[in-house]
Amino acid sequence: MALILGIESSCDETAAALVTHDRRILAHRLAGQEAAHRPFGGVVPEIAARAHVEMAMPLVEAALADAGVTLADVDAIAATAGPGLIGGVMVGLMTGKALAHAAGKPLIAVNHLEGHALSPRLADPDLAFPYMLLLASGGHCQLLLVRGVGDYARLATTIDDAAGEAFDKTAKLLGLGFPGGPAVEAAARMGDPKAVPLPRPLLGTNEPHFSFAGLKSAVLRARDSGRYRAEDIAASFQQAVVDCLIDRTRRQLESHPHITALVVAGGVAANGPIRAALAELAGRQGVAFAAPPLWLCTDNGAMIAWAGAERFALGLTDDMAAPARARWPLDPTAEKARGAGVKA
């Protein structure tokens, strides 16, 4: 059974994992960089790239030791080749290329978004193509039809901020700390989701896309009004995000009646109320619901190894010229969404 080494370094997590094509996770190691970025309230690309340089090889070695294997036992080496912070992507991809070259193994240049998109299939052997995917992370918020490995149709994207970005900015505005998503979720548990009237951008419109920038501005105004507790703003913000995600996703499920499963992936999929609301929506629409376990939602090496395993099984390997890419859409045919800057 093919054994794949996966390396992830596209944002602020360095990770290495060993996964088999029959879904055994033999090892997964991860080094976060929260402490290094916390003083700046966000990820600093240069600090991230340097940390990846320090951590990539030790994590690979630790993962190999955990699994009790050597590079010679590995069938292919998968590394994130984008999209992401280019310095970090280059570090992970170069590490993968060097190992592949030294060990004489094939290289698989993995799209980080494909890692998220396929991660539910690592957790759930019964999840078959096609499925509808809500991919919500720090850099993306998209609805996609996942028709197969490497075969994606983008149905909707954000025209401004990503969902995770909105969580991170809200946390910063409310002084809840970094990383923002878990901090907002924790504060929201102690707040009233109805306390603060906040907008639901694009809700109920014919426009398929997402928008979160107006929500963030409304959070700023609510904070500056001095009328609300941070916990109430956090809870109301989270509820507004839930409402927008549900409205947009329901719209796509209704117009794609042949789709039988709704899947959520990406860091924002770690959010309890968002998972619960999507599960409920799936139930109402009569489709199955799948979400990876929490540790597999946020960036990790196992999802990259798994995407590598899926590609390797189809004979999809890459040569040493595979480039590191800051941008790399899953659906290259998708039109730029109105108002979208760099997020499509």
Task: Identify which of residues 74 and 198 has a Cβ nearer to ligand KG4 in the complex.
Answer: 198
Q: Which residues bind ligand KG4 (CB under 6 A)?
A: 11, 137-139, 164-165, 167-168, 179-182, 185, 266-268, 270-271, 298-299
- Choosing among ligand KG4, Zn ion, none, which partner's interface includes residue 179 (Cβ < 5 to 8 Å by kind)? ligand KG4
111 contributes a contact to Zn ion by CB under 5 A: no
- Choosing among ligand KG4, Zn ion, none, which partner's interface includes residue 167 (Cβ < 5 to 8 Å by kind)? ligand KG4
- Choosing among Zn ion, ligand KG4, none, which partner's interface includes residue 181 (Cβ < 5 to 8 Å by kind)? ligand KG4
Task: Identify which of residues 110 and 261 has a Cβ nearer to Zn ion in the complex.
Answer: 110
Q: C-beta of 267: minimal distance to Zn ion in Å?
A: 6
**How many CB atoms sit inside 10 A of residue 117's CB?**
24
Contacts of 226 by beta carbon, 8 Å cutoff, 6+ apart:
none
Q: C-beta of 54: minimal distance to ligand KG4 in Å?
A: 20
Q: Which range binds Zn ion by CB under 5 A, 134-142, 208-216, 257-265, 305-313? A: 134-142
Judged by CB under 5 A, the chain residues 301 through 340 that form the site for Zn ion are none
* Structural contact between residues 108 and 311, judged by C-beta atoms closer than 8 angstroms: yes
Q: C-beta of 233: minimal distance to ligand KG4 in Å?
A: 15
Cα torsion 266, 180, 16, 150 to 10°: value is: 20
Q: C-beta of 273: minimal distance to Zn ion in Å?
A: 20
Task: Identify which of residues 71 and 86 has a Cβ nearer to ligand KG4 in the complex.
Answer: 86
Task: Identify which of residues 74 and 159 has a Cβ nearer to ligand KG4 in the complex.
Answer: 159
- Choosing among ligand KG4, Zn ion, none, which partner's interface includes residue 180 (Cβ < 5 to 8 Å by kind)? ligand KG4
- Choosing among ligand KG4, Zn ion, none, which partner's interface includes residue 160 (Cβ < 5 to 8 Å by kind)? none
300 contributes a contact to Zn ion by CB under 5 A: no
Q: C-beta of 258: minimal distance to ligand KG4 in Å?
A: 28
Among 80, 137, 249, 271, binds Zn ion (CB under 5 A): 137
Give the 3-state DSSP-derived string for the chain, with helices as H, strands as E and coil as C. CCEEEEEECCCCEEEEEEEECCCCEEEEEEEECHHHHHHHCCCCHHHHHHHHHHHHHHHHHHHHHHHCCCHHHCCEEEEEEECCCHHHHHHHHHHHHHHHHHHCCCEEEEEHHHHHHHHHHHHCCCCCCCEEEEEECCCCEEEEEEEECCEEEEEECECCCCHHHHHHHHHHHCCCCCCHHHHHHHHHCCCCCCCCCCCCCCCCCCCCCECCHHHHHHHHHHHHHCCCCHHHHHHHHHHHHHHHHHHHHHHHHHHCCCCCEEEEECHHHHCHHHHHHHHHHHHHHCCEEECCCHHHHCCCCHHHHHHHHHHHHCCCCECCCCCCCCCCCCCCCCCCCCCCCCCC
Q: For residue 179, is the peptide bond before it cis, meaning its omega torsion is within 30 degrees of 0?
A: yes
299 contributes a contact to Zn ion by CB under 5 A: yes
Q: Which range binds Zn ion by CB under 5 A, 56-64, 191-199, 214-222, 291-299? A: 291-299
Q: Which range binds Zn ion by CB under 5 A, 100-108, 135-143, 235-243, 305-313? A: 135-143
Q: C-beta of 105: minimal distance to ligand KG4 in Å?
A: 26
Enumerate binding residues for Zn ion (CB under 5 A).
Answer: 137, 299
